[in-house]
Structure 1
């Protein structure tokens, strides 16, 4: 009688390999364009926010950046992979088609002073904080009331104009 040791992990790996092949055969190239969202990191310093967005393999001309005081929107398109005649795609894990990332900012920025760099597939936006949000204290008056100093100067101005 021959004694064989059962190796369950070896059998499970064989089944996993067969399932991977089965799903690879079913998973063809996506033909319909899809919208995807790139990963982003937002870092805040005293003077600015820095937004980094992963966009590897995307041409700079295919990236559109729009900034307002509270929101930054990055959009664009990565064209689908074109196969040459005789080539067969065996695996494709890249994302193609339109992408869009909208980031709400925790503070207002000076959207006219935003700068952008694109290095090693990472878009880096420097978003300077708006001057009016940097440690500025504002006096808030209740509606319908006039501060005494302003009321007094208004009366003086009226007498001078007569």
Structure 2
């Protein structure tokens, strides 16, 4: 009897191949509906959000779409993108043998991480990529003042000395005034 070394990665690869084969048959099997048709799955565009100091940049991939077929709505905290992929009109003598294209309506709602100025949004559509530049709302900045307690204490002492000096001058003036009145 000979020993055979156990190779777990080879067994995992075999299982992966069997699962891939099972899904391929299920999705693309001859004479059967695909998995997407059975589930009536919808497609939504992939999005990317980036942030700068002043803006939020939203990019959405909508390949094969034209700008006129997109409906984009922007509020202060949400962007909604909707549209519809139209199936091309087939000629009478042609029929599909295989199609993995998805047709129909789609909608994607993207919550924004900060409030934006929705009246000032800039849009660009190029090569199937929608890019929105969403300017951020400027939050009311609270004025912060740093207090230097040493300076305040020195200012308070200076004011106290000044007040004492003023009181001394007033006392001196009263004394002189009283002396002049007594002399007359």
Shift of 1:21: 9.5
CA deviations on 1:21-52 (whole Å, 9 max, x unpaired) are 9614323796xx97431111111111101111
Greater helix share, structure number: 2
Q: Tell me whether 1:69 sits opposite 2:76 in the alignment.
A: yes
CA contact (8 A) 2:124 2:132 kept: yes
Q: In the aligned structure 2, how far is the partner of 1:22 from the partner of 1:35?
A: 18
Compute the TM-score of the two structures, normalised by the length of structure 2: 0.57
Q: In the aligned structure 2, how far is the partner of 1:21 from the partner of 1:69?
A: 41
The structure-2 alpha-carbon separation of the partners of 1:78 and 1:45, relative to structure 1 and needing over 3 Å to count, comes to: same
Q: In the aligned structure 2, how far is the partner of 1:75 from the partner of 1:85?
A: 31
Alignment length, in residue pairs?
Answer: 123
CA contact (8 A) 1:50 1:127 kept: yes
Of the three residues 75, 90, 104, the one matched with 2:111 is: 104
Q: Which runs of 5+ in 2 are unaligned?
A: 1-13, 145-184
Which structure has the greater CA radius of gyration? Answer: 2
Q: Which residue of 1 aligns with 2:179?
A: none
CA deviations on 1:80-134 (whole Å, 9 max, x unpaired) are 232211212122222211111100000000100101111110111111111226x
Q: Which runs of 5+ in 1 are unaligned?
A: 1-8, 140-162
CA contact (8 A) 1:63 1:77 kept: yes
Compute the TM-score of the two structures, normalised by the length of structure 1: 0.64
Shift of 1:55: 0.6
Q: CA RMSD in A?
A: 3.1
Q: Tell me whether 1:23 sits opposite 2:29 in the alignment.
A: yes
Q: In the aligned structure 1, how far is the partner of 2:115 from the partner of 2:73?
A: 14
